[in-house]
Amino acid sequence: MAVHAQAPAPAAPDKRLSALSASFQELSRRVHASVVKVTSVGYRQLEEDESDEPGVAARQQSSGSGVIIDEGGYIVTNAHVVIGAQRVQVTLSSAPANNSPRHSTLRPSGRIMRAQLVGLDLETDVALLKVNEKGLPALHLADSDTVEQGQLVLAFGSPMGLDNSVTMGVVSSAARQLKPDDPMIYIQTDAPINPGNSGGPLVDSEGDVVGINTLILTQSGGSEGIGFAVPSNIVLNVVDQLRKSGRVVRGEIGVTTQTINPALASGWRLSQDWGVVIGDVEPGGEGDKAGLRVGDIILKLNGKAMENARQFNVNVYRPAIGETVTLEVQRGKRTLTMPVKVVERHDEASTYAELASREENLIPELGIFAVDLTATLRDQVAPVRREQGGVLVAARHADGPMIEDGFKAGDVIYAINRANITSVAELRAFLRKLKSGDPVAVQVERSGKLRFISFELP
């Protein structure tokens, strides 16, 4: 009797991938409703080679992204998206609600609304907008201190002007400094971020905002898997202050702190290779009055252990101006408890930024906003060694090239490649003669001292 082999029954399809895909789709629908496109509109004067008629102005606009964080119309974006803009408008999402019938995959553009700039903070590159609308779908700002390396995240925004796009990746680093003792710490992600994503939310698997997409490191100009977002806890602190007063007030105690690294710990024979050390004490400042000294190791602030300089500075920002904080300090073999008064830090960068407009002052080759150093402005910038000429760096542009030991707000540019620079017009004219890859040596004055910033033009 012949025996016939039977083909095995086909395996039932694995539903887990379908369920995972469906969860991403639901999350995207929910988040998209809270993501907006931000457009900054203004005018700039045409250069001589752009128009035969002098004094002709042309309309100019740039775009980024934003996220609704309050149903009352408050929207967070990047400061560099809106700095210097004469008019800001947002395009709300046209995504249908979850219970709406299915629509065409090609959706109409959302509503365009005029937005008011409540305030911005250059140090964190965060800006707060307000639209005259109620009942908007808002996203929750999560606790970014719980973010961990390897965690799944999604980046939303309008890259290259492509409204409401989403990309997926993981957290490459939960706390990344671009330079040692950089005042800012970012969430690094490999979720693709491109120009136009700036200001959009980085969300976790629950759809909560863990960061605001801010900048990328790139050699090609596009995403190379190294993107950075401002952690949501920093955003929340900035937003709270902008809503209350339209500006961010930061406290200080008159000391400069540094993060203890292994080399310093080895040289000083410390028992730990982490923590915070005082590098300088301002004469006559609050730290000096309290008895703090160079070399003191800060163990705790108000009972909370201090692990790095950034953490310490952030915790000094938060107390009210005039409040007294308690430091636990190690000095040699002694442990001291020292009360120190918090005073307001002068935010020079934001003061200078108010002088700049996107149309007249953006120098994209250097990634800065620059203004002519007039006699009146010269009196406000102290100390300045030169008597004439120079261009003031009013602010850095977050989308500008990453330059090692780059420009800072308050720098005065005197020369490029030994050619004197006396105005923004001269600066533009000189840079137009250069091409990508050309060496550039810029002479600047910073805090009363001359120095050179050298790099190759991107």
Query: Which residues are catalytically annotated?
Result: 80, 125, 198
Please give the Cα distance from 99 to 108 (Å, whole number): 18
Cβ neighbours around 294 below 10 Å, total: 11
Give the C-alpha separation, 293 to 137, whole Å: 51
Phi, psi at residue 258, to the nearest 5°?
-135, 155
Q: At what angle do helices 232-245 and 309-317 cross, to 10 degrees?
A: 20
Maximum C-alpha span of the chain: 111
Structure token pair of residue 334: 């002694």
The enclosing H or E element of 431 equals helix 424-432
Tokens of 263: 């080399």
Residue with tokens 């998209």: 32
Spatial neighbors of 274 by CB under 8 A, at least 6 apart, are 259, 260, 265, 307, 308
Q: Are the CB atoms for 184 and 121 separated by under 8 Å?
A: no
Closest CA to 399 of 432, 371, 364: 364
Tokens of 252: 């200080």
Decide: 275 and 297 in contact? Cβ < 8 Å: yes
Q: Is the dihedral of CA 371, 377, 383, 388 positive or negative?
A: positive
| 24 three-class SS | helix
Q: What is the CA radius of gyration of the chain?
A: 26
Nearest Cα to 141, choosing from 241, 237, 226, 65? 237
* Of 86, 108, 88, 87, residue with least CA distance to 96: 108
The CA–CA distances, whole Å, from 104 to 24, 108, 164, 266 equal 19, 9, 15, 64
Q: Which parts of 362-409 fold into alpha helices (H)?
A: 375-380
Q: What are φ and ψ of residue 310, in 5° steps? A: -60, -45
Distance CA 429, CA 169 (A): 42
Query: C-alpha dihedral over 242, 281, 278, 185, to 10 degrees?
Result: 20
CA distances for 326 relative to 8, 39, 275, 302, angstroms: 74, 45, 17, 5
